[in-house]
Amino acid sequence: MQICHGKSIFHSIAMGKIRVYSKKEKEIKRMAIHDVARELERYGNVVEVAKEQLKQLHNKALKEVGEADAAIFEIHQMMLEDVDYSDSVKHIITSQRVNVEYAIHETADYFANMFASMKDDYMRGRVADIRDISERLLSILTGQSTVPFEVKEPVILLADDLAPSETVQFDKDEILAFVTVQGSVNSHTAILARTMGIPALVNTQIKLTEELDGMTAIVDGMEGILYLDPDAETVQRMQEKKAEVEEKARQLLDLKGKKDITPDGRKVMLYANIGNPKDLPLVLKNDAQGIGLFRSEFLFMESKSHPTEEEQFCAYKTVAETMAGKRVIIRTLDIGTDKKIDYFNLESEENPALGYRAIRICLTQPDIFKTQLRAILRASVYGNIAIMYPMITSAEEVRQIKGIVEEVKDELHSQKIAYNDIMQGIMIETPAAVMISDELAKEVDFFSIGTNDLTQYTLAIDRQNSRLDAFYDAHHPAVLKMIRMVVENAHKAGIWAGICGELAADMTLTKEFLAMGVDELSVSPEQILPLRKRIREE
Ligand code: PEP
Ligand code: MG
């Protein structure tokens, strides 16, 4: 048995087999070749193999997910036959006398950049397809699998690191636990694991080797320990501990249907954070009063290209209808920093957390923003939707956003498309927003304090850097004073203020937050009932 320590993200226990997830970057080298004809033949062959793979995928998808979703595999087959694409590959091979892998790589870059710079949404959406077909060709040529991950039974996923865009690909039912060698407790990967209610360890002291694949292991999320090949005594002890944890969770279910009210009669809005309609069963199971933060960017991350208005509308409508009249706060796209999306083609930056992210992208790429606003407004007639904007730093930004919302409403009105006049709020997650919260409060209907970013920007600590986890002190007096100030300014202007950052679930602070007058706490679904218990306690 081997014992490895890590930092725990979610306090639960998992037992099962390990699956090592390794992402081998395809390193494409430019190599001079002598036999051009042979290289052209290799290209012809690889295209045929790829088309055959796509044909089979198309047939499989037709049976499993229907025609609309299967169509993408047909489109990819057509793209492989595209004359411009294949002429470019062939031209690079013949004129530069280089290997086919390099020619495909260069062609993919050329077309992806060309599509990315186009105004038309549809054409921009093709960037991901170009990358996809090129990846397929390269995977066949380099003998790698194109299937990112397939599991037959739920596993403990062990990886060096996981980006949020990778984490969202996994199905909750396939994963017993996440364990990563890198990673910080405040990253979005950690937040995702918490939202999915899955035990997870980051920053784990373990050397990743292929031999770990298939090994039996136990993740103790209470203590932050990974047991590899556990002995019989440990298995017995952990089984008992798991049973205890499950019993406690069962007892908490008695709180379902009970009010979120303090002993002295104060009502609290206890909401859930989600990233996807797939999280809704957990929200219902844990009886949240509403959704306080729907991180809409995860919809974008799961998609291979910009989700269309229709796709977004369906997702927002599903959430609104499922919540059946309970409030659903949709946060507009917040990408950048660790939340990367290939098809946005964002340039890499020296300081991404201080860079081109969230509302800054929306305000400078209004087409993307307006598509999302249209989808949200259209979905608003199916439930109780509110909208929230991330990373606000000035009142001018808010006024600009409200102007765009009015334009979108006018457009819908003239097209005779129904929408509701929904509440608009902002995230308070920059020190600037805190300091002008009196002014901002006059512009919006509510505040939601994002303590994850607010702590990062106030303490000048990168939330992604696990070496700084010990310095990332969300209980810092500066952060707590800021929360107090925001709530006071909100109340002076007659609006409500909540917390949707991870600190909202910190039960050592619940009483302090309530004493400050915090009106809403929004936490991951599994944290709802423990927090309800805390709110109701003396
Ligand atoms: C926050 O910053 O506290 C927040 C809720 O947003 P995110 O974690 O998605 O950046
Ligand atoms: Mg944030």
Query: How many angstroms does the Cα of residue 356 sit away from the middle of ligand 2?
Result: 13
Query: How many angstroms does the Cα of residue 429 sit away from the middle of ligand 2?
Result: 6
Identify the pLDDT of residue 24.
57
Atom of ligand 1 nearest to the CA of 449: 3
Identify the pLDDT of residue 70.
74
The domain defined by 269-537 folds into TIM Barrel (3.20.20)
Contact 13, 176 (CB under 8 A): no
- Asked if domains 2-24+147-253 and 269-537 share a fold, the reply is no
State pLDDT tens for residues 236-285: 999 999 999 999 999 999 999 999 999 999 999 999 999 999 999 999 99
Higher pLDDT, 144 or 38: 38
Query: How many angstroms does the Cα of residue 313 sit away from the middle of ligand 2?
Result: 23
Ligand 1 and 292: CB distance under 6 A: no
58 included as an active-site residue: no
Per-residue confidence at 385, pLDDT binned at 50, 70, 90? very high
Higher pLDDT, 171 or 453: 453
Nearest CA to ligand 1 atom 6: 450
Nearest CA to ligand 1 atom 8: 452
Ligand 1 and 297: CB distance under 6 A: no
Query: How many angstroms does the Cα of residue 453 sit away from the middle of ligand 2?
Result: 5
State pLDDT tens for residues 173-211: 889 999 999 888 888 888 888 888 889 999 999 998 888
Contact 4, 211 (CB under 8 A): no
Ligand 1 and 452: CB distance under 6 A: yes
* Substitution site in 329, 334, 434, 479 for ligand 1 pocket (most atoms within 8 Å of beta carbon): 334
Cβ partners under 8 Å of residue 392, min gap 6? 359, 398, 426, 427, 428, 429, 430, 433, 440
Identify the pLDDT of residue 127.
77
Ligand 1 and 500: CB distance under 6 A: yes
Cβ partners under 8 Å of residue 256, min gap 6? 286, 287, 529
All structural domains of the chain with their residue ranges: 2-24+147-253, 36-142, 269-537
Ligand 1 and 451: CB distance under 6 A: yes
Identify the pLDDT of residue 167.
80
Ligand 1 and 425: CB distance under 6 A: no
Ligand 1 and 296: CB distance under 6 A: no
Identify the pLDDT of residue 26.
60
Question: What is the 8-class DSSP label of residue 183?
Answer: -
Q: Is the pLDDT reported for residue 449 higher than 60?
A: yes
Q: Is the pLDDT reported for residue 304 higher than 90?
A: no
Query: How many angstroms does the Cα of residue 67 sit away from the middle of ligand 2?
Result: 37
Mean of the pLDDT values across residues 79-108?
Answer: 94
User: Rounded to whole angstroms, how far apart are CA atoms 41 and 179?
Assistant: 44
Per-residue confidence at 499, pLDDT binned at 50, 70, 90? very high
| Ligand closest in space to the Cα of 298 | 1
188 included as an active-site residue: yes
| Helix, coil or strand: residue 375 | helix
Atom of ligand 1 nearest to the CA of 456: 2
Looking at domain 2-24+147-253, which of 3.30.470.20, 3.40.50.1580, 3.10.150.10, 3.50.30.10 is its CATH number?
3.50.30.10
Nearest one of 454, 437, 448 to 493, comparing CA atoms: 437
Identify any residues that bridge with 405 across adjacent strands, giving them in sequence order: none
Ion ligand 2 neighbours, Cβ < 5 Å: 429, 450, 453
What φ, ψ does residue 388 adopt, rounded to 5°? -140, 140
Question: What is the chain's Cα-based Rg?
Answer: 25
Nearest one of 164, 171, 196, 195 to 180, comparing CA atoms: 164
Identify the pLDDT of residue 388.
98
| Helix, coil or strand: residue 200 | strand
User: Rounded to whole angstroms, how far apart are CA atoms 290 and 286?
Assistant: 11
Ligand 1 and 429: CB distance under 6 A: yes
Ligand 1 and 295: CB distance under 6 A: yes
Q: Which of 58, 76, 105, 188 is catalytic?
A: 188
Query: How many angstroms does the Cα of residue 295 sit away from the middle of ligand 2?
Result: 10
Task: Tell me what percent of the residues of the chain surpass a pLDDT of 90.
Answer: 71
Query: How many angstroms does the Cα of residue 29 sit away from the middle of ligand 2?
Result: 39
| Cα torsion 294, 295, 297, 302: sign | negative
Task: Tell me what percent of the residues of the chain surpass a pLDDT of 70.
Answer: 96
Domain 36-142 CATH superfamily: PtsI, HPr-binding domain (1.10.274.10)
| pTM of the predicted protein model | 0.78
| Ligand closest in space to the Cα of 503 | 1
Mean of the pLDDT values across residues 412-421?
Answer: 97
Q: Exposed/middle/buried for 27, CB within 10 Å: 0-12, 13-18, 19+?
A: exposed
Ligand 1 and 13: CB distance under 6 A: no
